[in-house]
Amino acid sequence: MRRVVASLRHLHHVRISNVYLLDGGLGDRWLVDCGHWSERATLLWELRRAGVGPGDLAGLLLTHRHSDHAGNARFLQRRFGVKVYAHRRDAEVLAGDAPRARLARNGGTWMAGVLAEIENLWPARVTCDGALDDGDAIGSLEVHHTPGHTEGSVFYRHGGTQALLTGDMLLTAKPPLVVRKGMSLAYVSFSSDLALAEASVRAFARSGVGYEHLLPGHGPPLVGGARRATLEFLGRHT
């Protein structure tokens, strides 16, 4: 586990998607996303190394409902009593109370088509303990609804460290395999509404909300100058 900035740590041995720990002390320990079920043992090992048991967590916050980010949510909830939170729109899908949009290749690479079908076949399922809305505060984090990748995708902003956790709406590696570094927006094959996803990111950028560090769902954390880098990227991406 690597410290990103102050109380925010990156569980860097969890590879399929990024998982972060906000350790603000007793009562303010939050896991942001929880990785794919296939990396469950690695997730628990990383937490043990940090001296944090799942039962010590105030809760699990999901940036969105896809299985590479929410795949261990039900396990953590049932085994350790971890409370799970997601935006209302994604919480409804995770619980089976709203239809799950089927992903398709839609012009992406053939590998993206394969990954989209895997998501269709084995999605994450969990009944959330709490549903979040735009403008909510949970612990020391602000909730900013940024729909498009999924119906309930969110950014979490941590004011104390000026960090922004962006899920798959704003990345620092190129999808679909996210092995090449570089800022990127949500990918067509994995998004319910690509145009809405881009519009959401641009609207957030125009809002003037400040941040210095960007912690994406895929790719390395960007420490320092993140808002400036994002605005420059969006200016180039037309």
Classify domain 2-236 at the CATH superfamily level.
Answer: Ribonuclease Z/Hydroxyacylglutathione hydrolase-like (3.60.15.10)
What is the per-residue pLDDT for 119? 98
What is the per-residue pLDDT for 2? 94
What is the per-residue pLDDT for 148? 98
Whole-number percent of the chain with pLDDT over 90? 97
Q: Is the pLDDT assigned to residue 42 strictly greater than 90? A: yes
Lowest mean pLDDT among 97-101, 199-203, 234-238: 234-238
Cα–Cα distance, 147 to 154 (Å, whole number): 7
Strand order in the sheet with 130-132: 2-5, 8-10, 20-23, 29-32, 59-61, 84-87, 130-132
Q: Is the pLDDT assigned to residue 237 strictly greater than 90? A: no
pLDDT tens digits along 195-223: 999 999 999 999 999 999 999 999 999 99
Question: Strand ranges (DSSP E) for 81-138?
Answer: 84-87, 130-132, 137-138
Cα–Cα distance, 231 to 96 (Å, whole number): 37
What is the per-residue pLDDT for 238? 72
Domain ranges of the chain: 2-236
Mean pLDDT across the stretch 41-60?
A: 96
- Given the structure tokens 């990785």, which residue do they identify? 35
Q: Is the pLDDT assigned to residue 24 strictly greater than 80? A: yes
Cα–Cα distance, 235 to 238 (Å, whole number): 7
Mean pLDDT across the stretch 91-112?
A: 97
pLDDT band at 147 (very low <50, low <70, confident <90, very high): very high
Average pLDDT, the chain: 97
pLDDT band at 26 (very low <50, low <70, confident <90, very high): confident
